[in-house]
């Protein structure tokens, strides 16, 4: 019976984590080339002005410029990795 309870709890945690993952952790509108996730290629994004970076709870960072997605950084957490991040309160 314990194994069944653990599976049910894991599924409950996974559903909660998937909902939590779509929330954003940080939001930056900037022209900085010194962000920790910046690459040599992504530094060229600033030639057209400032950018908006949204970091989501699941680890992905989406960069927009003039309302259009131009780049993403990182890796989306899924499954057990996502549940672990959710249970410990974030990445």
Tell me: the pLDDT tens digits for 47-89?
Answer: 999 999 999 999 999 999 999 999 999 999 999 999 999 999 8
pTM as predicted: 0.84
Confidence of residue 3 (pLDDT cuts 50, 70, 90): confident
Q: Which of 54, 36, 57, 34 is nearest to 46 (CA)?
A: 34
What does the domain layout of the chain look like in residue ranges? 12-87
Tokens 């949204």 -> residue = 54
For the cut 70, the answer to whether the pLDDT of residue 91 exceeds it is no
């Amino acid at each position: 019976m314990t194994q069944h309870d653990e599976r049910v709890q894991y599924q409950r945690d996974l559903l909660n984590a998937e909902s939590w993952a779509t929330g954003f952790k940080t939001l930056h509108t900037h022209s900085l080339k010194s962000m920790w996730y910046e690459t040599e290629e992504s530094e060229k994004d600033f030639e057209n002005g400032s950018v908006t970076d949204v970091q989501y709870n699941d680890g992905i960072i989406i960069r927009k410029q003039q309302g259009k997605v131009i780049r993403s950084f990182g890796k989306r957490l899924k499954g057990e990795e996502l549940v672990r991040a959710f249970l410990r309160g974030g990445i």
